[in-house]
Amino acid sequence: MNVWNSSKWKALGALVITLLIGALLGAALVGTAMRQRSIMFLQFSTPEGFTERVLSIVEPVSDEQLKTILPIVQAHGEEVYAKIRESRATLIDIGQSLSDELQPHLSEEQKKRLAERRAENLRRVAEMEEAQNR
């Protein structure tokens, strides 16, 4: 008698396949949700995206109301964008300071790992700024 032909193994196989499919779908959904959140953050962190987002929330009821509130929202969008750029610059400076202070206490391997991570973080910041400037 072939063990793989028994109904127990078939049921177990079906269960395992179902669980794997569920795990893959769950991972895909989480990835999609995270991507949408990051896109929303990028949109919110540019003056134009901020303005668009606030106006979509407020939903002006007339052209007159839109004409009145648009300059207010745009001014705040510029302010938010300036703060985001300022905070990025501050974080980059803090990271450099940390790296400088750690250098005398690290092995060559640790220095290499820290430098690689720092370069990766700086690359991501540059990509985000480039995406915002498009």
Q: pLDDT of 79-91, one tens digit each?
A: 988 888 888 889 8
For residue 115, the model assigns a pLDDT of: 92
Q: Which residue has the tokens 């839109």?
A: 66
pTM: 0.55
Q: How far is CA 95 from CA 45, 90, 112, 128, in A?
A: 22, 9, 15, 17
What are the structure tokens assigned to 60, written together? 């002006």
